[in-house]
Chain A
Amino acid sequence: MASNAWRSMLSHVVGAAKRPTVCSRSVFSRGLQTVTLIPGDGIGPEISVAVMKIFESAKVPIQWEERNVTAIQGPGGRWMIPPDCKESMDRTLIGLKGPLKTPIAAGHPSMNLLLRKTFDLYANVRPCVSIEGYKTPYTDVDLVTIRENTEGEYSGIEHIIVDGVVQSIKLITEDASRRIAEYAFEYARNNQRNSVTAVHKANIMRMSDGLFLRKCREVAESFKDIKFTEMYLDTVCLNMVQDPTQFDVLVMPNLYGDILSDLCAGLIGGLGVTPSGNIGANGVAIFESVHGTAPDIAGLDMANPTALLLSAVMMLRHMGMHDYGKKIETACFDTIRDKQVLTGDLGGKSKCSEFTEEICRRVRDMD
């Protein structure tokens, strides 16, 4: 209770854009934390290096364990991630991931899907806050999309019934729906959010989305301090592009979540500036940048590390290192607001290394 009051006071005192925190973990000691770092493909290595440099200049007590994720075929023919990566994640429980290549016809499922299945990453959290200094037609966006990440339309169960007729199965289970609803309300409570909105299409998919909705309603009963509303998916889309300020925390099944979270990312400026976190069942949390690997600019020092950096800040908050997170975030936002040193996608002409250096300089000046 006292920590809640302290946290809310802190967020009032510090001016800049409020970053929602994931629940703080008091289990970490004050020593050096180890975090598994997965650089990824394409521009992944460059932006990971940038983040590591910024963390170094901020003197964050983190040591990185780099691991590579490429699908290997385990015993029995099942595709899985390399065992050393799995062992590292199970030990550190925190991961930071760059973009991974999803091959279209490589014979194995996408790497993101494999990671999800291995660590049971059931919740994808994407806070979308308008960035001062990066102008979009939508200002004052401040919402969080929480998406169920394991089932729904992405169950991957498809059959060809007869030639020319394909069926794809959308799976909704009680357990997964309850789990994601509980996570959403916990998140709202821990981050001082006022309301949770369940997004569904229960008028059309009466049984499946009906079950999801029922579970959300049940969980809402035990969280009376948080306002619970429900809204149809099409109404949400309609209102989101007209007035995004009316939304706070949104919880939804897989497909709607995918679409809405990308829609919200578009409102604040695209995937290049959007952080994202995946929460797993055993305390595992992997924070990632959600943009693609951008193979056309890989290796040319043109990439924008903002997305990975903001995800890393989200990770720091999750680990309880709020002050470090605030410092790095402020430095990043100040750099973008100043508009002197910006990478190509933000409208400037600087290189990735120059952008990183500018942020490092600001972080060092803040001490």
Chain B
Amino acid sequence: MHFTRLFSDRHHIIEEEVHFLHILAGLCIMMAAALRGSLVTLAKGLTGTGPQWQQLAARSLSMTASLGGPEAPPARADATFKVTMVPGDGVGPELMTAVKEVFKAGDVPVEFEEFHLSEVQHMDSDEKLEQVLASMKTNRVAMKGKINTPMEFKGELAGFEMKIRRRLDLFANVVHVNSLPGYSTRHNNLDLVIIREQTEGEYSSLEHESVPGVIECLKIITREKSRRIAKFAFDYATKKGRSKVTAVHKANIMKLADGLFLQCCAEVAELYPKIKYENIIIDNCCMQLVQNPYQFDVLVMPNLYGNIIDNLAAGLVGGAGVVPGESYSAEYAVFETGARHPFAQAVGRNIANPTAMLLSAANMLHHLNLEYHSNMVSDAVRKVIKQGKVRTRDLGGYSTTGDFVQAVVGNLRHRPMY
């Protein structure tokens, strides 16, 4: 194949020589495959170091790495980043598998440390939680699926997700709501950023039954956290070149609580004269989002409203399968999907849409300063969506998760190489 094209110009090459070279090439490839196969089985036998071995084996024996042109990054084993991975419940494990496959195919120098933490499947325990937190503190970057919070009141009011959030102080949740080119919804060309405070507010898990039949749930708003999230929102807007920040509240009813939040936002807004600041009441905001979402740019809000608006905005561009999101603290970053649903009814059926998780993984690579790989992954995903041939069920197609991942992997290899 490759050899015959080179030799076809030379007319005096005898057919037997070409034939011999064919056999030699074939033997080489077969040997390489056999060697690779045995290495892979060896690697599978070694638990814990499995991923690293696989990556090494793939790199040394694959042809593409050696043919890499001037654009190819230095793919060296000692430059791998370690990232904590918590697949979570529902379709989380399937989505994480998709990410790992795409990373492997793209030779991304990232190594995942997996932890299986789940409240529903009785894999929970405090030691497990401590392990996860310790790993996150060392690696500082994590990818997470949704850990389902069961509804039965088992004596504890805060689920695992809330505990992780509080312990790592992941106070800001950023969801990127971007319309996907090639997939049209009722509102196209949307570009919103939703910033949500996620450690206090309505999710304080402080509930008690004061009198039988009467339950009180406390919503806590503090000046310090409101100021922090407002400052985060304005800093984010400045860094990304956004022009407007809108605070979402219900201060006409909850005068003290949301009033404090609003006041903090207004105070911080004065420090950023270049960014326009507005505020809007939550119910009006929901109505405006379905009628005219283009009037918004960056939205900042307390916990519960954030949950509502995240999901609403995700629905506007195509659902929970296409919107990536991340959570930040001062030291850690956790990458996950924007609308967090375990999607339990899709488990095992291979129908979940991995777009959100893949785009979030691309964001993570950008965060790790692996620009080349980040663009490679996100370009491949966008290309597949734009082509429209391989689409999962939530976008109106019939493909499986596996098909989609294969399509993305296929588009990875077709990056222009010199």
**A interface vs B, CB < 8 Å?**
102, 104, 110, 136-138, 153-154, 156, 158-160, 163-175, 201-208, 210-211, 213, 233-235, 237-242, 255, 258-263, 265-267, 269-271
Residue in contact with B307 in the complex, picked from A167, A207, A234, A240, CB distance below 8 Å: A234
9 new A-B contacts, CB < 8 A, other than A168-B257, A255-B250, are A203-B149, A208-B215, A234-B308, A239-B315, A240-B315, A258-B283, A259-B308, A262-B286, A266-B290
Q: How far is the CA of A203 from the CA of B254 in the complex (A)?
A: 23
Contact B315 A237 (CB under 8 A): yes
> Bound complex: CA of A26 vs CA of B322, how far in Å?
53
Most interface-central of A169, A234, A260 (chain B CB within 10 A):
A234
Q: Within the assembled complex, what's the spacing in Å between the Cα atoms of A153 and B291?
A: 26
Complex CA–CA separation, A268 to B20 (angstroms): 75
* Inter-chain contact B215/A173, CB cutoff 8 Å: yes
**Within B77-118, which residues are at the interface with A (CB < 8 Å)?**
none
Flag B260-284 by CB within 8 Å of A: 1 or 0 each: 1000000000000000000000111
In the A-B complex, the 6 residue pairs with the smallest Cβ-Cβ separation, listed nearest first, are A266-B287, A164-B223, A241-B315, A262-B283, A174-B213, A137-B186
CB distance A262 to B257 under 8 Å? no
23 A-B pairs within 8 Å (CB atoms) are namely A153-B219, A154-B254, A158-B254, A165-B221, A165-B222, A171-B216, A202-B151, A203-B150, A205-B207, A207-B157, A207-B209, A207-B215, A211-B215, A234-B341, A237-B311, A238-B311, A238-B339, A241-B316, A255-B250, A263-B312, A266-B286, A269-B291, A270-B287
Contacts of B308 in A (CB 8 A): 233-234, 237, 259
- Is B287 a contact partner of A265 (Cβ separation < 8 A)? yes
CA of A269 to CA of B209, assembled, Å: 41
Question: Chain B binding site: helix, strand, loop or mixed by DSSP?
Answer: mixed
Considering the complex, give the chain A residue whose CB is closest to the CB of B316.
A241
How distant is the Cα of A156 from the Cα of B159 in the complex, in angstroms? 28
Residues of chain B lying within 8 A (CB to CB) of residue A159: 256
Contacting residue for A168 out of B218, B282, B307, B339, CB 8 A: B218
Please classify how large the interface on chain B is, using the bins under 10, 10 to 19, 20 to 34, 35 or more: 35 or more
Residue ID in chain A nearest B314 by CB atoms: A238
Number of A-B residue pairs at CB separation under 8 A: 170
Shortest distance between the CB of A164 and any CB in chain B (Å): 4
CB within 8 Å of A: which B171-192 residues: 186-187
The reply to whether the CB of B252 lies closer than 8 angstroms to some CB of chain A is yes
* Given known contacts A174-B213, A258-B283, A241 and B153 CB-to-CB distance under 8 angstroms: no
Docked Cα-Cα span, A44 to B32, in Å, equals 83
Query: In the complex where A138-B290, A206-B157, A238-B312 touch, is A173 in contact with B207 (Cβ < 8 A)?
Result: no
Interface residues of B, Cβ cutoff 8 Å to A: 148-151, 153, 157, 159, 162, 186-187, 202-203, 205, 207-209, 213-224, 250, 252-257, 260, 282-284, 286-291, 304, 307-308, 310-312, 314-316, 319-320, 339, 341
Of the candidates B216, B221, B291, which one forms a contact with A270 in the assembled complex, judged by CB atoms under 8 Å apart?
Answer: B291
Q: Is the interface of A mostly helix, strand, loop or mixed?
A: mixed
User: In the complex the two chains form, is A167's CB within 8 Å of B217's CB?
Assistant: no
- Which residues in A have their C-beta under 8 angstroms from that of B339? 234, 238
Please indicate which of the listed interface residues B151, B256, B339 has the most CB atoms of chain A within 10 Å of its own CB.
B151
Cβ of A202: which chain B residues have Cβ within 8 Å of it? 151
Min CB gap A79→B, angstroms: 15
Task: Judge whether A204 and B203 touch: CB under 8 Å.
Answer: yes
Q: In whole angstroms, how far apart are the Cα atoms of A240 and B312 in the complex?
A: 8
Cα(A265)–Cα(B291), bound, Å: 10
| A104 adjacent to B218 (CB under 8 Å) | no
Given A164-B223, A173-B214, A206 contacting B257 (CB threshold 8 A): no
In the assembled complex, which residues on chain B have CB atoms less than 8 Å from the CB atom of A241?
290, 312, 315-316
A110 to B257, CA, bound (A): 17
Which residues of chain A come closer than 8 Å to B149, judged between CB atoms? 203-204
CA A190 – CA B21 in complex, angstroms?
Answer: 85
Q: In the complex, what residue of chain B is closest to A256 when comparing beta carbons?
A: B308
- Nearest CB in chain B: distance from A135 CB, A: 12
Cβ-defined partner of A208 (8 Å) among B150, B207, B290, B312: B207
Contacts of B224 on A, CB cut-off 8 Å?
164
Check A171–B213 contact: CB distance below 8 A.
no
In the bound assembly, the distance between CA atoms of A259 and B289 in angstroms comes to: 12
Residues of chain A with a CB closer than 8 A to B150's CB: 203
Contacts of B320 in A (CB 8 A): 238
Bound-complex Cα distance A173 to B214 (A)? 4
Contact, CB under 8 Å: B215 / A166:
no
Q: How many Å from the CB of A283 to the closest CB on chain B?
A: 25
Asked whether, in the complex, the Cβ of A203 is within 8 Å of the Cβ of B159, the reply is yes
Residue of B208, B213, B250, B286 near A175 (CB, 8 A) is B213
User: B217 touches which one: A158, A170, A267 (CB < 8 A)?
Assistant: A170
Q: Report the nearest A residue to B251, measured CB to CB.
A: A104
A174 to B191, CA, bound (A): 43
CB distance from B225 to the nearest CB of A (A): 10
State how many angstroms separate the Cβ of A348 from the closest Cβ of chain B: 18
- How far is A174 from B213 in the complex, measured between Cα atoms in Å? 5
The answer to whether B287 touches A271, judged by C-beta atoms less than 8 angstroms apart, is yes
Residue from B202, B256, B311 within 8 A of A166 (CB atoms): B256
Q: Which of B219, B220, B221 has the most CB of A within 10 A?
A: B219
Least Cβ–Cβ distance between B24 and chain A, in angstroms: 58
- Per the bound structure, the CA–CA distance linking A264 and B207 in Å amounts to 30
- Given A158-B257, A174-B213, A238-B315: A206 and B151 interface contact (C-beta under 8 Å): yes
Inter-subunit contact A153/B254 (CB<8 Å): yes
Q: Whole-angstrom distance from the CB of A110 to the nearest CB of chain B?
A: 8
Which of the residues B186, B220, B287 comes within 8 Å of A263, measured between beta carbons?
Answer: B287
Of B209, B215, B223, B250, which contacts A165 at CB under 8 A?
A: B223
Asked whether A173 lies within 8 Å of B288 as measured between CB atoms, the reply is no
B215 and A172 form a contact (CB under 8 A): yes
Nearest residue, chain A, Cβ from B162: A204
State in angstroms the CA–CA spacing of A262 and B289 once bound together. 11
* A204 to B222 CA separation, bound complex (whole angstroms): 20
Closest to A205 in B: B217
Write the chain A residue with the least CB distance to B148: A203
Pairwise interchain contact A210-B153, C-beta atoms closer than 8 A: yes
Q: Are B221 and A166 touching (Cβ within 8 A)? A: yes
Which chain B residues lie closer than 8 Å to A261 at the CB level?
283
**Bound CA span A267–B341, Å:** 24
The answer on a CB contact under 8 Å between B312 and A237 is yes
CB-CB under 8 A from A210, the residues of chain B are 151, 153
In the complex, which residues of chain B have a beta carbon less than 8 angstroms from the beta carbon of A102? 252
What's the nearest-Cβ distance from chain B to residue A266, in Å?
3
B257 near A259 (CB under 8 angstroms)?
A: no
Q: How far is the CB of A333 from chain B (nearest CB, A)?
A: 20
**Contact A206:B153 (CB < 8 A) given known A160-B256, A237-B311:** yes
For the complex formed, measure the closest distance between the CB of A328 and the CB atoms of chain B, giving whole angstroms.
Answer: 26
* Residues of chain A with a CB closer than 8 A to B209's CB: 207
Contact partners of A234 in chain B: CB under 8 A: 307-308, 310-311, 339, 341
In whole Å, how far is A356's beta carbon from the nearest beta carbon of chain B? Answer: 25
Instruction: Pick the most buried of B205, B282, B311: most chain A CB atoms within 10 A of its CB.
Output: B311
